[in-house]
Amino acid sequence: MPATPAWPPKSTPRLYLEERIETGAAIELDQAQSRYLLGVMRRGDGDVVRVFDDRTGEYLARLATAGGGRCLATVEEKLAPREEVPDLWLCASPLQRDNFALVAEKACELGVRRFVPVEMRRSVVRKINNARLQKRMIEAAEQCERTALPVLAPLTKLDRLLRDWPADRTLFFADELGGEAPAEALANHSGPAALLIGPEGGFDDAERTAIRALPQARPISLGPRILRAETAAIAATALWMAVAGDWRN
Ligand code: SAM
């Protein structure tokens, strides 16, 4: 395991910036980021922050207060290149209440490359708030040290997802009616992968038939208990990371 560098300390605030970062650049932080650093984290002139851009990597920057409660971050040093995220997509039906944002957050923390909201026949929620999901994933990436954000795909209907499914990507479909033992199925596979999780009411029979007809699909079981959809999404992702992803390193 690589040694933890002493500088900057782990407690250094970490922010995602939309613009491309390069050493020497002076970047004006937005209102919310400035408020967070000055008001919540109690940082000020001369303090350091870590910033990353989902394009080039992570950097150390020094703060200066600017007018109107804004902060200026001057980028001093590159700390890390953008990481290579494991090639796992998580495809899942939108869920009620905060549960879908929770799944997006956990997908980001666990290392998913692409998060794909999928509308199914029994999906209760048929619209998603992309900005809210994106914000939740950015906050998770800031917290969990990711240097690459997950891609948030647009909401897609299941039949369209299956029609356009890439030939080289295995679709592990969590079927509450049963399937292969998941640890073996996920471990004995290499190459691009995806997980598919149904809505609160589960897949209907026609959907199950259509998914099973896809040559790239492999049904997996997640054990003898019926899990809530959000539990199933998080558990299956964690299992994939453990047996086929970057938890093995
Ligand atoms: N139709 C089910 C019921 O009410 O009895 C519930 C579906 S479950 C809440 C939602 C989704 O989680 C399922 O469509 C499936 O993708 C996944 N899931 C939950 N438990 C599972 C299990 N034991 N094995 C495989 N998938 C499971």
Q: Structural domains in the chain?
A: 14-81 (2.40.240.20), 88-248 (3.40.1280.10)
Residue-wise pLDDT for 195-240, tens only, equals 999 999 999 999 999 999 999 999 999 999 999 999 999 999 999 9
Q: Which atom of ligand 1 is nearest to the CA of 173?
A: 16
Residues 6+ apart with CB under 8 A from 129: none
Does residue 226's CB lie within 6 angstroms of at least one atom of ligand 1?
Answer: yes
- pLDDT given for residue 2 in this prediction: 56
- C-beta 228 within 6 A of ligand 1: yes
CA atoms within 13 A on the CB side of 69: 11
HSE-CB at 242 with a 13 A cutoff on CA atoms is 10
Identify the pLDDT of residue 126.
87
- For 40-81, write each residue's pLDDT tens digit: 989 989 999 999 999 999 999 999 998 888 999 999 999 999
Residue 11 pLDDT: 82
Q: How high is the pLDDT of residue 44? A: 87
CA of 196 to the centre of ligand 1 (A): 11
Centre of ligand 1 to C-alpha 146, Å, is 30
All residues at 6 or more sequence positions from 206 whose CB lies less than 8 Å from its CB, including other chains? 121
pLDDT at 8: 76
Alpha-carbon separation of residue 216 from 33, 103, 196, 198 (angstroms): 43, 24, 12, 17
- Whether 186 has a pLDDT exceeding 60, the answer reads yes
Select from 123, 124, 212, 226 the residue to mutate for testing ligand 1; criterion: most ligand atoms less than 8 Å from CB. Answer: 226
pLDDT surpasses 90 at 9? no
Residues 14-42 pLDDT 10s: 999 999 999 999 999 999 999 999 989 89
* pTM given for the model: 0.93
Instruction: Give the mean model confidence (pLDDT) for residues 157-184.
Output: 96
Q: The sheet that has 48-52: what strands, in order across it?
A: 14-16, 48-52, 57-65, 71-81, 26-28
pLDDT value of position 4 = 61
pLDDT tens figures, 140-169:
999 999 999 999 999 999 999 999 999 999
